[in-house]
Structures are given as structure tokens and as C-alpha cells.
Chains A and B, each alone.
Chain A
Amino acid sequence: MKSIGELERIRREAMTGIGPRVARTRVTFVVHMGTDGLAAGARDVMMAILDELRRQGLTDCLVTQTDVTGLHAKPPVVDLLIPGHASLTYTRVTPEDARRIVVRHLVAARAAVGQ
């Protein structure tokens, strides 16, 4: 260990490794994984979200699942929970949509999230 800077670099890298255990989340993606969701391809949607988060190097997000789907929602359904904001619900999400959602909410509109 040569310097505080080196320690800080290791710490930032290591944060990814413990992210889900220490809540400091900007956005939580809730993927509906009920039977209807699974049948409609919700797993592929979730994998797309995970992959996009990795590609963008976003570690302050959580991806969780639920088995409850609203009565009228068309699967696959993804909810976005943004602390301090009303939650958003996307329906009939494809994996491509999922990637777009990640980019729109977290990359392009980083500043807009706070509005």
C-alpha cells in the first residue's frame, strides 16, 4: 500500500462486490417474476438490465424481483423505484427496452433524476 489514493482505488473497485448488502441505491429495478412474467420472458429482461448496468459501470443500483403482478399489467413488467420519487411501471418490456430504460434513467438523464 503506497498511498491513500491507492487504497481509495481498491475501495471503489471493491464497492461493486458488496453493493447489494449496503444500501446506497439510486434506482431499484423490480422485475415481476410471477409465472406470467417468467413465461413472457422476464428473465431475459432482468439479465439485460444486469448486463447493461455492468456495461455502464453502475454499482449503486439494485435489481430485485417480485412475484406480484398488478391485475391489468401486461408482462413482462418492470418497476423503477427512485428514492424520493413516485415509482414508475413499464409493461411489455423487451430486453432491448430494458437496456434503453437503464440508459435513459441512469446515463442520459443523470442530472434529470434529481429534478
Chain B
Amino acid sequence: MNSFYRAHVLVCAGAGCVSSGCKAVEQALWAEVSQQGLDEEVKVIQTGCVGSCDQGPVVVVYPEGTFYRKVRPEDVPEIVEEHLLKGRPVERLLYKDESSELVVSLEDIGFFKRQRKIVLRNCGVINPEDITEYIARDGYEALGRVLTEMAPEDVIDIVKRSGLRGRGGAGFPTGVKWGFTAKATGSPKYVVCNADEGDPGAFMDRSVLEGDPHSVIEAMAIAGYAVGSNQGYIYVRAEYPLAIERLSIAIKQAREYGLLGKNIFSTGFDFDLEIRMGAGAFVCGEETALIASIEGRRGMPHPKPPFPANEGLWGKPTLINNVETYANIPPIILNGPEWFAGIGTEKSKGTKVFALAGKINNTGLVEVPMGTTLREIIYEVGGGIPGGRKFKAAQTGGPSGGCIPAEHLDVPMEYDSLVKLGAMMGSGGLIVMDDHTCMVDMARFFLQFTQDESCGKCTPCREGTKVMLDILTRITEGKGQEGDIELLEDLGKTIKNTALCGLGQTAPNPVLSTIRYFRNEYEAHIRERRCPAGVCQALFKYEIVQDKCRRCGLCQKACPAGAIEESVEELDLIGEEPAMAGAAEAGAGVRAGVATAVATRSKRKPLVINQDKCLKCGVCMRECRFQAIARV
């Protein structure tokens, strides 16, 4: 039986923290706690993602909620000795906020303070491999209530009234979808969870499966009861081994406790779950392709209708929802649809989890009410742009979405307002870009991704994205032609209207949206052969500004390609005017600048960059202490 511990030490064990070495920290904690004889009073627990991925490995000590960041195994003895034994937090491992104030408690950190956790309610709080901890947080109570007190149509009605919309990206009303599947004729029916999270930079589904797998299991059982299904499948991509492992453990424990299987809560309702692994094709996140993949066929979409609700898995009525959608269900049942509908905006209810990535100080997972503005997310939760740089745009919805430029920073983040701007909610990836990002290159990157992932079944997507990608590549190589922009727009619109599935229909979005907001960047590439952000390598070169160069040779040492060579002839130096030279000779009060450079220059020959060898990596520019290297 559980005994009473005075302190709980939680070690984040999401995949992000695992890769930064949390396992070693956890083992060190166990060892140190028992060495200090604290086993009886301190409990070490591995938990899911806390959300602040760039700070990992993260250790949180309760009851105080002390938040330690970037903990290494060698820090552990100090934490145990000072904090757990003597009650003094270890200051050097605490989080510092923007004003360099030490923050002791997790609740006081801006990144956490602004959030409202429904989907991630248990992530970073419970041990995902212990079903009793989930039950302690009111787990499976919603399932119990649904089975013992409600008719299936009541459940669907609650989901409808809550206003929950699909969190996979399209935002279709979840309750309506459940209603379709419930009404469909055919038996057996199936319930499927789409965990084939494929958008680059999105990892909310993974974090839920790793940190709170039971919330998805419980919700699927509820969905099974509501639509009349006894069998569910969770389709997880094989690249998520930790999620699969924790999900398997959770399913096993749920069966042991009789929460999956036969006659659940003695109500005669049977429900069981199986995991199906995806082989890593992006298109398998599209529901009809996902169904084909579960059936063991090649993952390719087919035209809708028929919709999965009528003819899905093995031709039977099938309900498909995304992980985050399911994770909302138990709290909606427990707190009532009005509670959920009271959060968010008129047409987008509840919260949304965003994965912050790119040029932002706090990368990681955040959950905020729908309608929170982009500015709040980036500056208040995300801590702004590193180095005080200027915000340029944010890409929402991954490769299917679009960008939101600085003039729309105050847009409320909800389904419809984003669509109006030519972007979309998508699964919640949010990639922040500063003024060092080239929008043409960014659009090319996403199109490259969708082009690679196109299944090839329909011509618009197979051929159209290829042609668009070729044009974009040409533009970034400085070979753009007049009319390219119009051609891209034309192709993009055609593909959107004619492609078979969501992948093709949204693939042109990044291109169309960057043309819409950053047309001038395309024009600069095409007409002036210039990349304003200095990213497209074919459109700039590094040169040494001879009158600033002191010939110290640092750049030469740093260059990985050996492209910096000594010139055979003495170059004419632009800056060497008689007055300057005179000052240098006099040696009186010489300051930094051209004169100094000339006066203190070593006796070596001038350095020049051999453009044939140069890789344009920019290392020389970073290394130079005299700003003598220019990008032109």
C-alpha cells in the first residue's frame, strides 16, 4: 500500500528529456536518496512531459513545486543534501526569468503561469506507468459515470454541446462526427485513435501518450460506448517507441483492473484496444490512408464519400479522432459541457496545445485557452525572440498551414481566424521566425517535405508539387524568372482544388501564404537576385573588407574549407588615405578603425576568400573580431 511521503521528486521523462539524459538523473536520485536514508520520506517518480523541453532534464520537487532545470547526475547529491535534507533550494539550478530573478516555484514561472491545462492536466504530475495515479486524479470516473448513468445518445449530446472540435487540424465538430458513426448501419463498428503525428515540430500527441496514456484509453472506451463499438485501434507511428511502450503498459494495466475487456463496471459493455504501428508515412495521418494502413494495405487515401463514419475499417462504420481530441473527453464528461464551452471563443471552445519551436526563448509545449493572441503566446508564454531580434512571422499548422506576419500578431488563435489569414490551426505546431529567416526558403522547405511525402496516387499532388518545388528551388538559386510568382499562385490554387486528399489540398499553403505576405521577398530573389534575409546561398558571397582586415588569420584557422588564402599581389587599400596613414605614423591617439587596422596590420600578405572553395557557412564572419568580413 502507498505510504505517506513528505516529498515527491518528479523527474521529467518525456522523449525530449530522455534524450537529454534524464534516466541517469533519475538513477542518481534513487541512489542518493537511499544513501542519505530518506527512502521512507522521499519518493522519486518518473513523469511525463512538463512542457519546457529546452530546460531538460527537469526535476520538480513537491510539495513546494521547486523547479530545477538542466539537472546533471553530478548535481543530484547537492539537491538531496541541501534541499531534501536541509530544506534549502539549490539556487544555481533554479529557473531565472527575464529579469534574472530566481524563481523558486513552478507556478511562478511565466511559461507555466499563463497556461490552462486540460489536455495536459496530468502530464508532468503523475507517473504514466502507474494506473492508480491516474485513478487518483479522477481517472476512469468519467467512464464509470457514462456506463452507469447515461445512454449513448446522452454522451453524444454532451460532446456536441461542449463545442469540442477535432484537434487533428481540420476542426470538425467532434460530437457531430460521433453522431454520424452512431447512426451508421453496419456491424461491428470501430473506434480509432489517430496518433500518426507527422507535422515537423509538433509533438503534443506524443507527450500525451507518453505522459498520460490512460486519458486516451478512457476516452476511447467512452467513444466506443457512445457509437456502439467494442473494439478500438490506436494507430501510432513507429518513430514513437516510448509512447508505444507506455501505451502498452497502460492497456495492460487497464485490462488487469477490468477497465478494458468484458463487462466493464458490470454494465455488460465490452471494449478492448489494440495498438497498430504506422511505418512513418506522413500521408497515413489522413484518415482514409490510415484505415488502409491498419488493414495492412499500402497507405493511400481514397476519395470521400464514403466517409469512414459509414465505410471505414474493413468497410465498417468507424470513428476516427486525434489524440488531443480524445484527451479532452473525460474532463468534459466530469465537468459538464457548459464548463468546456465557457473556455475559449464563440466558435472554438476549450484549450489548444501548441508546440513552440524555432526562434523563441522557451521552446516546448504550451496549453492555452483558444483565442489567446499570437502575441501573448510568443511574448508572454514563449518569452519572446532570442537576442532581442525582430519577429517576422510564425508558421502555424506545419507543412499544411501558412504564416502569420508581424502585422497580425494580435490575431486570436482559433480555427476560423487563422483560416481567414490563409494559415490554419493544424495540429498546433507553431514555428517562430525572426528577420534572419528567408520566407522563400522556408516555403521551399515545407514543400520539399510534402513533395517527399506525397503518395503519388493523384496527379495534381504528385506532379504539381514537383513543378512548384522546381520553381521554388530555381528562385532560391538565383535563376528565378519574371512570371514565376504568378505561375506558383496558379499551380497552388489548382492543386488545392483538385488534389485527392488533405495532404495535396494543403501542400501549396506555405507557398501561397508567403507570396501573400512576403511577395517583396520573392521579387527581390527574382528581379534583384538578392536574398534579403541572407539565407539563400547562391545569392550572396562573403568577402574580406581589406581596409578593416588586420590579417590576423583567425578566419583562416576557422574556415572548414580552406577557402581563405593569402593573395599573391598586394591589394590597393581603399581606406589608406594620406591623412590616415599620417596619423598612423604619428601614433598619436589612434583609435580602432581603418587607421588602426592599417597601422597594426601584421606583415602578412592580404587575405582573400576563394569563392570556388567557399561553402558560405559564415564561420569566418562569426570569428572575425574586426567586422572585416561582409556578406554581399
**Could you say which of A3, A13, A19, A65 contacts B87, with CB atoms under 8 Å apart?**
A65
Interface residues of B in 50-107 (CB under 8 A from A): 62-64, 85-88
A31-84 contacts to B, CB under 8 A, are 31-34, 38, 46-47, 50, 53-54, 58-59, 62-67
Segment from B133-141, B288-296, B331-339 that makes contact with A: B133-141
1/0 per residue B248-281: CB within 8 Å of A? 0000000001110000111000000000000000
**Bound complex: CA of A3 vs CA of B85, how far in Å?**
43
Nearest B-chain residue to A10, judged by Cβ: B135
Asked if B6 is at the interface of the complex by the 8 Å CB criterion, the answer is yes
Alpha-carbon separation in the docked complex, A90 to B575 (Å): 79
Report Cα–Cα, A38/B4, bound state, in Å.
22
Name the CB-closest residue of A to B42.
A20
Q: Does B40 contact A (CB under 8 A)?
A: yes
Q: Mark B118-145, 1 if CB is under 8 A from A, else 0.
A: 0000000110001011011110110011
* Chain A hits for B135, CB < 8 A: 7, 10-11, 14
A32 to B40, CA, bound (A): 19
Question: Number of B interface residues, CB 8 Å?
Answer: 38
Residues on the B chain within 8 Å of A25, using CB: 63
Q: Do residues A7 and B141 form an inter-chain contact, with CB atoms below 8 A? A: yes
Contact call B132/A17, Cβ cutoff below 8 A: yes
Judged by a CB distance under 8 angstroms, whether B626 is at the interface is no
Residues of A within 8 A of B140 (CB): 1, 7
Closest B residue to A4 by CB, please name it: B144
Residue in A14, A16, A46, A62 with the greatest tally of chain B CB atoms within 10 Å: A14
| Complexed CA–CA distance, A10 and B136 (Å) | 8
Residues 174-190 of chain B, each 1 if its beta carbon lies under 8 Å from chain A, else 0? 00000000000000000
In the complex, the chain B residue whose C-beta lies closest to that of A58 is B4
Name the interface residues of B1-25: CB closer than 8 Å to any CB of A.
1-8, 10
Q: Is B39 an interface residue (CB 8 A)?
A: no
B63 to chain A, nearest CB (A): 4
A88 within 8 A of partner (CB): no
Is A18 in the interface zone, CB < 8 Å from B?
yes
Q: CB of A21 within 8 A of chain B?
A: yes
Q: Which of B8, B40, B86, B141 has the most CB of A within 10 A?
A: B86
Is A108 located at the chain interface by the 8 A CB criterion? no
CB distance A62 to B6 under 8 Å?
Answer: yes
* Contact yes or no, A21 B62, CB < 8 A: yes
Q: Is the CB of B63 within 8 A of A62?
A: yes
Question: Does A2 interact with chain B (Cβ within 8 Å)?
Answer: yes
Q: Which residues of A contact B4 (CB under 8 A)?
A: 16, 19, 50, 53-54, 58-59
Is B245's beta carbon under 8 Å from chain A? no
Tell me whether A23 is interfacial, beta carbon within 8 Å. Answer: yes
* Contact B10–A21 (Cβ < 8 Å): yes
Q: Determine whether the beta carbon of A11 is less than 8 Å from that of B86.
A: no
User: Which one of A17, A34, A38 contacts B2 once the chains associate, using CB atoms below 8 Å?
Assistant: A17
Closest A residue by C-beta to B254: A1
CA distance A20 to B190 in the complex (A): 40
Decide if B148 is an interface residue (CB 8 Å cutoff).
Answer: yes
Q: Which of B6, B87, B259, B264 contacts A50 (CB 8 A)?
A: B6
Contact B266 A3 (CB under 8 A): yes
**Cα–Cα distance between A46 and B37 once the two chains are bound (Å):** 14
What distance in Å separates the Cβ of B630 from its nearest Cβ neighbour in chain A? 56
Please tell me if the beta carbons of A46 and B136 are within 8 angstroms of each other in the complex. Answer: no
Contact, CB under 8 Å: A21 / B125: yes
A65–B2 CB distance below 8 A: no
| CB proximity of A11 to chain B, nearest CB, Å | 5
User: Is A15 interfacial (CB-CB < 8 Å)?
Assistant: yes
Look across to chain A and name the residue whose beta carbon is closest to the beta carbon of B84.
A65
Residue of B nearest to A56 (CB): B4
Q: Complex Cα distance A18/B40, Å?
A: 15
A54/B3 in contact, CB under 8 A: yes
Q: Can you list 14 pairs linking A and B with CB atoms under 8 Å apart?
A: A1-B140, A3-B266, A10-B135, A11-B135, A11-B141, A14-B135, A16-B1, A21-B125, A31-B87, A38-B86, A50-B4, A62-B6, A63-B41, A64-B6
Given contacts A2-B258, A13-B2, A20-B63, 16 further A-B contacts (CB under 8 A): A1-B140, A1-B257, A1-B259, A3-B265, A4-B265, A13-B1, A14-B2, A17-B130, A18-B125, A20-B5, A20-B62, A21-B63, A38-B86, A46-B41, A50-B6, A64-B63
Which residues of A are at the interface with B, using a C-beta cutoff of 8 A?
Answer: 1-4, 7, 10-11, 13-23, 25, 28, 31-34, 38, 46-47, 50, 53-54, 58-59, 62-67
Interface residues of B (CB under 8 A from A): 1-8, 10, 40-41, 62-64, 85-88, 125-126, 130, 132-133, 135-138, 140-141, 144-145, 148, 257-259, 264-266
